[in-house]
Amino acid sequence: MPTNEQRISINWNGSTIRKIMVLGLMSACLVGCGNAPTEKTVSTPDSIENHNHPRIKVPVTADDENVAKTKARSGLEGDGWVFDPLYATAVNTDRRDLAVCGFARQRGTTNSVYFAYYSGELILSDDKAPSGVSVENEFLTMICSQS
């Protein structure tokens, strides 16, 4: 007859723990979605609600271009980055919810990157992720696309 310790023993390997974590996250998502409020409570003008608006192309000021390139250079490894002309998108002509977007390649290598400078943050494309899978790539597509 097995002892209590032997009956309770569970073989915890990495796969089992990952499965439990995934199931926990999935159930948390389902609970969160099921309890979603019916009324929008976010009311700031530059809130995430603006992401549902169609974006338009707006002029890139010299200051915006300088800041975006400086931020990109600080976030990219190595030297020799060459930028294609930058462009900007926003939800209106007043430049609300501005994103400065662009493409850069590193001279002498095959390195290249799509990027955006948005709300004080640099967002870089994830070139290792298949198209449509990476959160970074989806977000870049959303804020850099124009209608």
The low-confidence residues of the chain, meaning pLDDT below 70, are 1-53, 129-132
Whole-structure pTM over 0.85, yes or no? no
Pairing of strands 87-90, 81-83: unpaired
110: closest CA among 80, 84, 136, 131?
A: 80
- SS3 at position 82: strand
Q: What pLDDT score does 26 carry?
A: 47
Q: What pLDDT score does 39 carry?
A: 40
- Those residues whose C-beta lies under 8 Å from the C-beta of residue 71, and which sit 6 or more positions away, are 117, 122
Q: Which two tokens stand for residue 51?
A: 């992401």
Per-residue pLDDT tens for 98-110?
999 999 999 999 9
Q: Which two tokens stand for residue 36?
A: 């979603």
Residue ranges covered by each domain of the chain: 4-34, 48-144
Q: What pLDDT score does 130 carry?
A: 64
